[in-house]
Amino acid sequence: MIYGITGNTQKEKLWEPVAELVRWFMTESVPFLLQSEIADGLADRGLLSSETCHQHRSNAPAADTDIILSFGGDGTMLLSAHEVGAHETPILGVNIGRLGFLAEIEVGQLPETIRCLEKGDYRIEPRMLLSADVRDESGTASYWALNEFVIERSGSAGLLSIRVAIDGIHLNDYWADGLIISTPTGSTAYSMSVGGPIVAPGSSVVILTPLAPHSLTVRPIVLPASAVIEASVIRNEQPYVLAYDGRSRAFEHGDDPIAFRFSQASHVVNLIKLPEQHFFQTLRSKLMWGVLRHG
């Protein structure tokens, strides 16, 4: 088993835990590769020798390893997922952030966790992805997301009018700040923060959640994963963006109508889960369900 180590190099809390893990790997003769930015950062900080960092440095650890250890928060996990891409290398999130639904392992659990992985005492949880085809006068571009796609206004106080059809049948013209098209994984991200439903990650569904709709009768809706969702901004009177997993593409006021087509992607992201980890347990812990508050 070869481990690839990636992480959020903007967090100072990253460096010492990664250095400790590398020392432990070397003591236990466990093979590993370091993402190039992490290898350089460890060497620059004097936490590991330059020779060690150079020897284990990799520009594409997902291609040459069996498991990716992603140090950071949920944003880092999304970045790692996109770095892994179609390799589908399983990812284990190590939380050095705040609220984490994807990065569940705490730094202090790492030695015990690695022992479980070495014994094969874990499961791989495939996570559904969404793809988006964006068609304009210049052609078609394709993107994919683990959490969600969001069509939302940018830098203006006006609302967007977004026409949506499902499998060729008109659903609604949303008059709102925007529209979230979410996977079950993304149901606990942006969608949840604006009142969307929490969906168990193994579900084969897509969630449409409007952002501050002008009509109170417009509610989130859950669709089968097989649904093809077509959307367009029908009154393009202001700039807007298509955001996905921390990335975005901007569209300017007056651009020709843009056609968006969302559907289930052809590949998945594989997350590693330990035996005691379960989505419902994570919900209770992260959202503090059942915790009594006094005062």
Report, as residue numbers or ranges, the catalytic residues.
74
Q: Nearest to residue 96, comparing CAs of 193, 9, 33? A: 9
Asked if residue 131 lies in contact with residue 141, where contact means CB atoms within 8 angstroms, the answer is: no
Q: How many Cβ atoms from other residues are within 10 Å of residue 207's Cβ?
A: 23
CA 46, distance to chain mean position in Å, is 32
Contacts of 225 (CB under 8 A, 6+ apart): 128, 204, 205, 206, 264
Q: Nearest to residue 196, comparing CAs of 175, 173, 213? A: 213
Q: Give whole-number Cα distances, 164 to 190, 260, 284, in Å.
A: 20, 9, 34
Contacts of 101 (CB under 8 A, 6+ apart): 74, 188, 189, 282, 286
CA pseudo-torsion sign 78, 84, 86, 89? negative
